[in-house]
A and B are shown apart, each in its own frame.
Chain A
Amino acid sequence: MTQSDPIFRLEGVTRRYGNLTALEGIDFVAEDNSYIALLGPSGSGKTSLLRVIAGFETPDEGRIWFQGRDITDVPAHERGIGFVFQNFALFPHLTVFENIAFGLRNGATKVSDAEITDRVRESIDMVGLSGLEDRNPDQISGGQKQRVALARTLVMQPKLVLLDEPLGALDANLRERMQMELRAIRERLDVTFLHVTGSETEALAMGDRVAVLDAGRIVQYGTPDAIYDSPSISDVALFLNRFNLFEGTLKNGIFEGAFGAVPVASARTNETDVYAIRYDRTQIFDTDSSYLPGPALPVRYLASEYLGSSIIFLFETADHKTVEVDHHLSLGEPRDLIVGKNYILSWDPAQAIVFGKEITR
């Protein structure tokens, strides 16, 4: 298989629970040997999608193709798709070794004991669990459980592994380390990871490609850069948590919002009119400043948050909407602001992204 062949393909996959539609006609093509992050807020249907691909649930409509084969009606245990659960779902009555050996020992194809031992040892080494073989799952830490869950899946040599918020149960330090390890492990094996997460930072950091799921539909699919720089609809921008979003009206190429009327060069189709500017592209000026790069938004300073490499300044507009400014410290010392004092926020209009019902070219 070449790099560009799809590992799996979804055709109009729909899943309903009573009146609730969890997945609505999803079409999706996933490249082989890649790391795909599936990003979505809770309730967006991301876990449903994973469960449908794994075969734990059947779609109400649509087909699922895996390695060129229609697997829609194939039961989960015959699909050869790995699954890593958020709660790890280790077998509590088996040791670490037996947990990892489980699929080889009890699967449809007989594997000799010698081969089982070899392959289990190999994957124990790969995930760095040596010395813990005889422990029970209740005698190891959360991070180690995660590794057992991963080793247990990878020892079966699947071509596709579905990971359902695999880092959700880990603490922050461990999460970052596991992020790197997951990427490294995947690169060593010829396997596609489909990693579901509700964290935008995790998705952007880990995925070769990121799919954004919203209300049961995939609203954007692309590289992290592409999604970060140009969200396709305002919901994606909102979910990325990197943009100040302003409501207003777009008419005849002019956007009218809290910052006045601004001419707009281009706009993307959206259900509402929204003006978006990234936190780190918003600048702070004094109220009597004579030069502004673009529109002027009067605000009141609330507080700041120190993040190590940058500072987040929080402001409030006249209609009590919070606006954030991200000042990266590599750009120089931040200015001293006085809490409660009024300032003007401005930005280069060329860097704004405008969404509108009316499309302007």
Chain B
Amino acid sequence: MESKVLKPILAVYVGFFILFLYGPFIVLGILSFQQGPEGGPQFPIIEWSTYWYRHLFGLTPPSRIAPLPVGEALVRSLTLAFMTMVTATILGVMAAQAFRKRFRGAGVVFYLIVLGMMVPGVLTGLGTSLLANNVIGIERHWWSTAFLAHVVYTFPFAFLVMLAILNRFDGSVEEASWSLGVSPITTFRKVTFPLIFPGVLSAMLFAFTLSFDEFPRTLFASGRDQTLPLAIYGTFSVEIHPNIFAFGVMTTLFSFALLAVYGILMGLSVRRAKKMAMQEDIA
């Protein structure tokens, strides 16, 4: 009875919600196929074309619109995101592993770690920059100061993901391994790690994506060479052309590809996790 009225209303509501969520992206996607180089970043579409995509890769004849200065920034951002991902995930796994045993000051350490994602980004960025420039006296670079700021920011995410995973982890398989004469290090490699791998994957995804489009911390901490979000922001201040939209579509597709890889790897290891869960059910 009730659901007959409620359901369509909720369906419409959800429809609008999704439209609101993806509206900007859809508009961006449409405008990226604007005609060029005369067409601007607004409706109507003069003529459908892939001009701005070709422009992005420098395949168009020279015009008054300069190519987007994102090539180097993109490489920088990808490298930085990768470095951050690896570091934050390793730290996250290690820290979460440490928290499996209660130790003195565990509560304080927990909040200190989580602080990294709570503190406003601008403050962290500014602080890092001041610390580097005025206190220690070193130059700021995307691979040094900004990298540190990114790790401080993404490490708590990786840590929390791993904490949740290890909370549900049944330690008896590790004890079984020890009792078979296998050292704790080998046990971690051969038993623990394969079983927590889905969690590690999630932590990696978190760290990578958070670092890849990080703005406020990087703004102050990165120094002369800009990362991708900074480079894109820089182009806004001049004049906006649909080539930015085309680039936006490309990066979104890249994100989807990343998610697809994540999905495939996850699918493979979830099968493993299911086996684990079944074994626990019996116990």
Q: Mark A72-89, 1 if CB is under 8 A from B, else 0.
A: 000111111111011111
A69-110 with Cβ < 8 A to chain B: 75-83, 85-93, 102-103, 106-108
Q: Which residue of A lies closest to B175 (CB)?
A: A56
Partner of A86, one of B184, B278, B283: B283
Q: Residues of A contacting B194 with CB < 8 Å?
A: 93
Contact B190 A92 (CB under 8 A): no
**Besides A89-B175, A103-B177, 18 new A-B residue pairs in contact (Cβ under 8 A), listed by A number:** A56-B175, A56-B178, A77-B178, A77-B182, A77-B187, A85-B172, A87-B280, A89-B170, A89-B172, A102-B177, A102-B180, A106-B177, A106-B180, A106-B187, A136-B275, A137-B279, A149-B176, A153-B180
A156 at interface, CB cutoff 8 A: yes
Q: Which 6 A-B pairs have the closest CB atoms?
A: A87-B283, A103-B180, A83-B179, A89-B172, A92-B275, A138-B275
Q: How far is the CA of A107 from the CA of B178 in the complex (A)?
A: 9
Q: Residues of A contacting B10 with CB < 8 Å?
A: none
Partner of A138, one of B170, B181, B274: B274
Known: A106-B190, A169-B283. A77 touches B179 (CB 8 A): yes
Contact A93 B181 (CB under 8 A): no
Q: Which residue of A lies closest to B189 (CB)?
A: A106
Partner of A153, one of B179, B182, B195: B179
A54 at interface, CB cutoff 8 A: yes
B109 at interface, CB cutoff 8 A: no
Contact B180 A91 (CB under 8 A): no
B272 at interface, CB cutoff 8 A: yes
Q: Mark A106-140, 1 if CB is under 8 A from B, else 0.
A: 11100000000000000000000000000011100
Number of residues from B at the complex interface, CB < 8 A: 28
Main secondary structure on B side of the interface with A? helix
Q: How far is the CA of A108 from the CA of B180 in the complex (A)?
A: 10
B12 at interface, CB cutoff 8 A: no
B253 at interface, CB cutoff 8 A: no
Most chain-B Cβ atoms within 10 A of its Cβ — which of A54, A93, A156?
A: A93
Q: Mark B255-283, 1 if CB is under 8 A from A, else 0.
A: 00000000000000000101110111011
Contact B282 A142 (CB under 8 A): yes
A145 at interface, CB cutoff 8 A: yes
Number of residues from A at the complex interface, CB < 8 A: 36
Contact B180 A107 (CB under 8 A): yes
Q: Residues of B contacting A85 with CB < 8 Å?
A: 172, 175-176
Q: How far is the CA of A79 from the CA of B187 in the complex (A)?
A: 16
Within the complex, the shortest CB–CB distance from B256 to chain A, in Å, comes to 29
Q: Residues of B contacting A156 with CB < 8 Å?
A: 180-181
Contact A88 B279 (CB under 8 A): yes
Q: How far is the CA of A90 from the CA of B175 in the complex (A)?
A: 11
A195 at interface, CB cutoff 8 A: no
Q: Residues of B contacting A79 with CB < 8 Å?
A: 179
Q: How far is the CA of A75 from the CA of B178 in the complex (A)?
A: 9
Most chain-B Cβ atoms within 10 A of its Cβ — which of A85, A89, A90, A138?
A: A89
Most chain-A Cβ atoms within 10 A of its Cβ — which of B170, B179, B275?
A: B179
A152 at interface, CB cutoff 8 A: yes
B50 at interface, CB cutoff 8 A: no
Partner of A83, one of B175, B186, B276: B175
Q: Residues of A contacting B170 with CB < 8 Å?
A: 87, 89
Contact B283 A103 (CB under 8 A): no
Contact A77 B183 (CB under 8 A): yes
Contact B275 A54 (CB under 8 A): no
Q: Which residue of B lies closest to A162 (CB)?
A: B179
B191 at interface, CB cutoff 8 A: yes
Q: How far is the CA of A90 from the CA of B272 in the complex (A)?
A: 13
B112 at interface, CB cutoff 8 A: no
Known: A77-B179, A77-B182, A108-B181. A93 touches B279 (CB 8 A): no
Q: Which residue of B lies closest to A90 (CB)?
A: B279
Q: How far is the CA of A76 from the CA of B172 in the complex (A)?
A: 13
Q: How far is the CA of A156 from the CA of B186 in the complex (A)?
A: 17
Partner of A169, one of B175, B182, B272, B282: B282
Known: A56-B175, A76-B175, A76-B178. A92 touches B183 (CB 8 A): no
Contact B186 A106 (CB under 8 A): yes
B186-201 with Cβ < 8 A to chain A: 186-187, 190-191, 194-195
Contact B181 A77 (CB under 8 A): yes
Q: Residues of B contacting A152 with CB < 8 Å?
A: 176, 180
Contact B279 A92 (CB under 8 A): yes
Q: Residues of B contacting A75 with CB < 8 Å?
A: 178, 184
Q: Residues of A contacting B172 with CB < 8 Å?
A: 85, 87, 89
A242-287 with Cβ < 8 A to chain B: none
Q: Residues of A contacting B27 with CB < 8 Å?
A: none
Within the complex, the shortest CB–CB distance from A250 to chain B, in Å, comes to 45
Contact A54 B179 (CB under 8 A): yes
Q: Please, could you name 8 A-B residue pairs with CB atoms under 8 Å apart, sorted by A? A: A54-B179, A77-B181, A90-B279, A91-B173, A92-B195, A102-B182, A138-B275, A142-B282
Within the complex, the shortest CB–CB distance from B138 to chain A, in Å, comes to 43
Q: Residues of A contacting B195 with CB < 8 Å?
A: 92-93
Q: Which residue of A lies closest to B176 (CB)?
A: A89
Q: How far is the CA of A102 from the CA of B179 in the complex (A)?
A: 11
Known: A102-B180, A103-B180. A92 touches B283 (CB 8 A): no
Q: How far is the CA of A91 from the CA of B170 in the complex (A)?
A: 11
Known: A92-B195, A93-B195, A93-B272. A87 touches B181 (CB 8 A): no
Q: How far is the CA of A23 from the CA of B148 in the complex (A)?
A: 48
